[in-house]
Amino acid sequence: MIDLQKAFELVVNIGLPHCLLLSAVLFSIGLFGLLTRRSIIAVLMCVELMLNAVNINLVAFNRFGSMPDHAGQLMAIFGIVVAAAEVAIGMALAIKLYRERNTINVDELDELKG
């Protein structure tokens, strides 16, 4: 028999597991998009989603974990910086690709085929 009172408290008392689960949901959605989208820009956006999911983890651990300082948030900021660099380069590559091949669909870029 499930203890309703305890289950209610588990749902209502927001803590670390909730944030982590949210992050997991977001990451999985990003992964699904990464695997199914054909447009390279959409793929890039999904990667951004996954990166943000990771950042949620960092912030959540910083908030609920026994951290004495803001190191977790700082890491999230570094993550944002790297993501920004990544999206800039990624978009540049996408534009270059479009100019060279006139397509941005990843399934048409199969030069790695063995």
Partner 1 sequence: MFDFALQSAWLIPLLPAIAFAVIGLGTRQNKQLSAKIAIAAISVSFVLAWSVLGAVLTNNITVEAPFIAKTVWTTIGKIELAMGMLIDPLTVVMLTVVTTVALLVEIYSLGYMAHDPGMGRFYAYVSLFVASMLGLVLAISFFQMYVFWELVGLCSYLLIGFYYYKVSAREAAKKAFITTRIGDFGLLLGIIMLQIYVGTTDFAELQLQLPHYIDVSGTGMLTLIAFLLFIGPIGKSGQFPLHVWLPNAMEGPTPVSALIHAATMVVAGVYLIARAFFLFNQIPIVLEFIAWLGAFTAIFAASIAITQRPMKRILAYSTISQLGYMMMALGVGSVTASMFHLMTHAFFKALLFLGAGAVIEAMHEEADIFKMGGLKERMPVTCKAMTVGVLAIAGIPPLAGFFSKDEILAAALEHNFFLFLIGSITAFMTSFYMARLLFVAFYGELKDDCPAEETNDFMRYPLVILAGLSVVSGIWGHFFGFGEWVRFGAPVHEGINFFVAFSSVVLAAAAIWLAYAIYVEKRWSAHGLAARWGIFYNLSYNKYYVDEFYVIVRYYGCFVVARILYWIDLNIIDGAINMLAKLTGAVGGTLNRAHCGSVQAYVICFYGGAILVMGYALIYAYKVLSMAGGAF
Partner 2 sequence: MNELISFANEATKLLHWIIDFVLNFAVNLGVPNLINAGVFYGIGGVVILMALGVILFRNIVHSALCLTGSFIALGCLYIFLSAEFLGAVEIMVYGGAVAIIIVMGIMLIKRDDMSHSNPGRGVVAHIAAGIVSAFFFVSMAAAVIMSPFGELGEYKLADSVTGLADLMLTKYIVPFEVAAVLLLMAMVGAIIIAKGREADEA
112 forms part of the interface with partner 1 (CB under 8 A): yes
7: partner contacted, choices partner 1, partner 2, none (Cβ within 5-8 A by kind)? none
Chosen residue from 34, 63, 78, 103 binding partner 1 by CB under 8 A: 34
CA distance 89 to 60: 29
CA distance 78 to 54: 12
* 94 CA to centre of own chain: 20
Chosen residue from 7, 24, 108, 109 binding partner 2 by CB under 8 A: 24
In this complex, which beta carbon is closest to partner 1, that of residue 3 or of residue 111? 111
